[in-house]
Amino acid sequence: MKKAVFFMCLSCVFMLSGCVFNANAITYDENIDMTPRQIQIAEQTPLTEVVASVKGAVVGIMAVTSNGYSIGSGVAVSDGGYILTNHHVIEGGNKITIYLADQSTTSGEVLYSDKAMDIAVVKSQKNLPYLVCSKTPLSVGEDVIAIGTPLSLDFKNTVTKGIVSALNRTVGISSLGGYTTYMQNLIQHDASINSGNSGGPLLRTNGEVVGINSLKASDAEGIGFAIPISVGQTVVESLTENKDYSQGYLGVFAVDVEMAKFENKDVLEKTGAYVYSVDENICSNIKKGDIILQINDTKIKNSLDFRLCIYKLKPGQKANVIVNRDGEIMLLTCDIVNKV
C-alpha cells in the first residue's frame, strides 16, 4: 500500500491559533495517586476511567525565558520523572516549573532538546507515575484523546477526543525570515488542541501514548499534528540507559523520498531517505540528492527510520551508508559526531 504524504505551508505554527474553551476541562477534587509506577490499563476500560488513570502522568510546563515565559504540556514516559515535551515549549528557558495533577509544583531540568524534531526531554525533580509508549501501529479512523494545558495554566489537564485523520503527513513550516523547514511522519488528528497543548500526549483509548502534540493549522478547524512517540521514546531510552547520552549526528538532513518532487526531482526509489542538505564539514561523502537506503544493518524506508537509526548511534562510531546516487548504488563510510 502506498504511503500517504501531505505537504503544506503553515503561516502560524506551534499552537498559535485562536482561543477555544473546551467544556471537557477536568478539575481534580479527589485524591490523586501520584505513586511512581507504570500506568497500564486493561482493554475495554471506560474512557472516563482511562482519563482518571492517566492524569497523574500529564503535566503543565512553564519555561521562564529572558523575554518572558512560555506555557506548554508534557507527559512522563519513564520511571525517574522523565517527561517528553516539545522543543519550542522549553526553548531558551532558564527556569522550568512543572505543574502536577495534584496541584503541586516541582522544578525540571532539560536533558535533551532537538529543534528539528521539536522534541525535548525534561527530568522532573519529583518522580511521577508514567505511561506506556505504544509499539503498535496506528490506523486511520482510530479513536484518540489529547490531554494538555490549552491557553493557560488555569486549564491544566483538559481532555479532548477525536480520531486519527491521516498518517505520515509532511508539513512545511515557513519562518519569519522566509526559510522553510519540514516536519515529517506526523500523525494528523482532529482532537481539539490549542496554544499550550504543545508537548502534551496523544493517547490511545487504552492510555498508551502514540504521539506528542506539536502544532495545528491556524486557518482551519480539526487539523492538528502529533510527533510519533517512537522518536521521543528512543531518546528517553538512551538517556535512562546512559546519563551522559550525547546524540550522534551524521551532518545530514533527510526527508522522505516523495519530497524529492518538490525540488523537481524524479526518483525511481519508492522508499528511502532523500538527502535534502549536507554539512560537508561533517560528511563530505554524502551528497544532496542521494537517497539513503541502509545504514549499517538497518534498512531505511523513510526519514523516520533514518532519524531513529542515527539516534541509536554514538559519537565516534562509523556508519556504513548505502545510497542511490542517480541510479548508482554506492557504499559510503561516514563518521558519527556529537551533535552540539
Question: Which among 17, 53, 78, 118 is annotated as catalytic?
Answer: 118
Which phi-psi region, left, alpha or beta, contains residue 236 (left: φ > 0; alpha: ψ -120 to 50)?
alpha
DSSP state of 179: -
Tell me how far apart the alpha carbons of residues 259 and 275 are, in angstroms, rounded to a whole number.
10
Tell me how far apart the alpha carbons of residues 39 and 144 are, in angstroms, rounded to a whole number.
17
Active-site residue, 219 included = no
Taking CA atoms, 55 is separated from 1, 13, 33, 197, in Å, by 37, 27, 9, 14
Give yes or no for a contact between 170 and 187, defined as CB atoms under 8 angstroms apart.
no
Tell me how far apart the alpha carbons of residues 291 and 267 are, in angstroms, rounded to a whole number.
9
Question: Which among 88, 256, 290, 305 is annotated as catalytic?
Answer: 88
Active-site residue, 198 included = yes
The SS3 assignment for 135 reads: coil
Give the chain's count of helices (H) and strands (E): 4, 23
Active-site residue, 189 included = no
Give yes or no for a contact between 295 and 320, defined as CB atoms under 8 angstroms apart.
yes
Cα diameter, the chain: 65
Question: Which among 198, 214, 230, 303 is annotated as catalytic?
Answer: 198
Q: Which three cell numbers stand for residue 141?
A: 479512523
Tell me how far apart the alpha carbons of residues 262 and 276 are, in angstroms, rounded to a whole number.
11
Tell me how far apart the alpha carbons of residues 224 and 188 are, in angstroms, rounded to a whole number.
6
Tell me, what amino acid is at 216?
K
E strand residue ranges, 119-269: 119-124, 130-131, 143-148, 158-174, 180-189, 201-204, 209-216, 224-228, 248-249, 252-256
Catalytic positions: 88, 118, 198
